[in-house]
Structure 1
């Protein structure tokens, strides 16, 4: 349970957050409220899609260099991203609930979080329209989060979700919550490069197409980049899915995610 001073801070932040819905201050005030429940060392905010690559929103106390590294390289290994694409489930998601022994040796935890000097992470995943979610990530550099911290966030999650739903309803369809394309780290410069050994059953052309798919490009853009017709792209996709024994783009991403983890 929250002690009296923490409860007072929570209710104060809630009042401010309610007033901020529908304004540019919404996400910051939501962060303030969440931070009043469980204190992190730093915070990052990212949007996840079930069909497109992540978008950076903002951070507090984090490195722009590491934001750029995440968007250029590490997002494809992010277990929270895989969780959203595979489960489409909002809620409080501790890293430890996603981190198998294999995952702990993988590039997201062993490389990216280690380089970021992060020892533990909790995601607050909120519906953000269409197939998107807003992920507010609480990070600790020294001490991991306790089970009691997760319990406190779960107790308050319905409030976080209701506030964000109210904000989403007030937005115009053209509204973008993400950083502008000119902001540092806002748009990945490079996506994942697939080694031929990862999927030896695919041809070089098919691997090239898969890279573009994993980078979030739609069929029309892929066709333009490869100089082929949209129908040809769809035919390539069908053959790729048949070879990999999958049926959807979501499965393609998860297939890549699991193949890329060390055994």
Structure 2
């Protein structure tokens, strides 16, 4: 595969901090250091099955065996569950000899055309490590190549940390005022929260616990606090690297005393199909799922998204969520 220069890759990753494409760019940094045939991002959890996040479209003959249970034989999965420390390692280093005769090697690695891998276990979020993986289809990575990525680990981990801080500190807020915000994984476990959220949790009469119980039991997207503010819950996309398929809880100033506006007024410039795509995106559906639900090709969805992004004057899915939250704040919808 084509390689970017190291400095170019670093520049692209730095520019993507806080953006949905960040981990794609961080994989480019890793790939600029060694020759690789494939790149992937896997979220290894200390308490659950791994999430294959990148590439976003995986061949069924590769994804199905892994998801059906072969992941339990994945040496990287075993390492994170048993050790769970950020590091750089290779498949050849971690895999026991019998693994190469197991179903994992014969069915998954063979189908995926993987002969060796280097995994960069980034610092965890809520017990799960977003892990950068570079694959080689033939042969092994040398000790020198492994050392090259090991030497770059502090840089990769630092960029990852800056990305998380950008998400957590700034969240989906449009202004500079820090608002209470936290990220949840797809199981509802808290991954991270900013200092404003922690302060609100500590307030004896803040009402946050009761509001969160209401959100969980009713399935609503917002709940009121005693001071009139709202806890707004937004779905995160399946390819949102920090919390794929998770949710974002953020406290917003309520507009309950303002005149109510049409909850979809901000989508008035869009066609019916474009509005459907926006609504499914906000529910956390990836492109493949949206295409299946609407009965169209994935390429059609991508074309629609480009046009609706232009109409809404945005360029990324993150900006779409930001626009949505701004509308909630302005209308109290």
Q: TM-score, normalised by structure 2?
A: 0.49
Task: State which drifts further: 68-77 or 158-167.
Answer: 68-77
Unaligned runs of at least 5 residues, structure 1: 1-5, 186-263
Map Cα deviations across residues 115-153 of structure 1 (whole Å, 9 max, x no partner). Answer: 222111111111241101011111111232111110110
**Distance (whole Å) between structure 2 residues aligned to residue 150 and residue 60 of structure 1:** 26
Residue of structure 1 aligned with 2:21, choices 22, 25, 41: 25
1:28-47 residue pairs with structure 2 within 5 A? 28-47=24-43
What corresponds to 2:54 in structure 1?
58
**Distance (whole Å) between structure 1 residues aligned to residue 5 and residue 60 of structure 2:** 30
Q: Indicate how the Cα distance of structure 1 residues 96 and 19 shifts in structure 2: closer, same or farther if over 3 A, else same.
A: same
**Distance (whole Å) between structure 1 residues aligned to residue 12 and residue 149 of structure 2:** 19
Task: Say whether the 8 Å CA contact 1:123–1:137 is kept in structure 2.
Answer: yes
What corresponds to 2:82 in structure 1?
86
Map Cα deviations across residues 183-225 of structure 1 (whole Å, 9 max, x no partner). Answer: 669xxxxxxxxxxxxxxxxxxxxxxxxxxxxxxxxxxxxxxxx
**Distance (whole Å) between structure 2 residues aligned to residue 28 and residue 64 of structure 1:** 22
Q: TM-score, normalised by structure 1?
A: 0.62
Residue of structure 2 aligned with 1:135, choices 131, 134, 137: 131
**Distance (whole Å) between structure 1 residues aligned to residue 151 and residue 57 of structure 2:** 26
Task: Say whether the 8 Å CA contact 2:27–2:40 is kept in structure 1.
Answer: no
Please state how far the C-alpha of 1:11 moved relative to its aligned partner: 1.4
Note the aligned Cα RMSD (angstroms).
2.4
Count of aligned pairs between the two proteins: 179
Q: Indicate how the Cα distance of structure 1 residues 9 and 182 shifts in structure 2: closer, same or farther if over 3 A, else same.
A: closer
Residue of structure 1 aligned with 2:166, choices 165, 170, 177: 170
Task: Say whether the 8 Å CA contact 2:121–2:129 is kept in structure 1.
Answer: yes
Unaligned runs of at least 5 residues, structure 2: 169-181, 184-235, 246-283, 290-333
Task: Say whether the 8 Å CA contact 2:73–2:99 is kept in structure 1.
Answer: no
Task: Say whether the 8 Å CA contact 2:65–2:107 is kept in structure 1.
Answer: no
Please state how far the C-alpha of 1:84 moved relative to its aligned partner: 0.3
Three-state SS of the structure 2 residue aligned to 1:171 is: helix
Please state how far the C-alpha of 1:97 moved relative to its aligned partner: 1.3
What corresponds to 2:147 in structure 1?
151
| Greater RCO structure (CA 8 Å; 6+ sep) | 1
Q: List 4+ stretches of structure 1 deviating above 6 A.
A: none
Q: Indicate how the Cα distance of structure 1 residues 27 and 11 shifts in structure 2: closer, same or farther if over 3 A, else same.
A: same
Rg comparison, structure with higher value: 2
Task: Say whether the 8 Å CA contact 1:68–1:184 is kept in structure 2.
Answer: no
Task: State which drifts further: 124-133 or 164-173.
Answer: 164-173
**Distance (whole Å) between structure 2 residues aligned to residue 156 and residue 145 of structure 1:** 16
Task: Say whether the 8 Å CA contact 1:66–1:116 is kept in structure 2.
Answer: yes
Please state how far the C-alpha of 1:68 moved relative to its aligned partner: 3.1
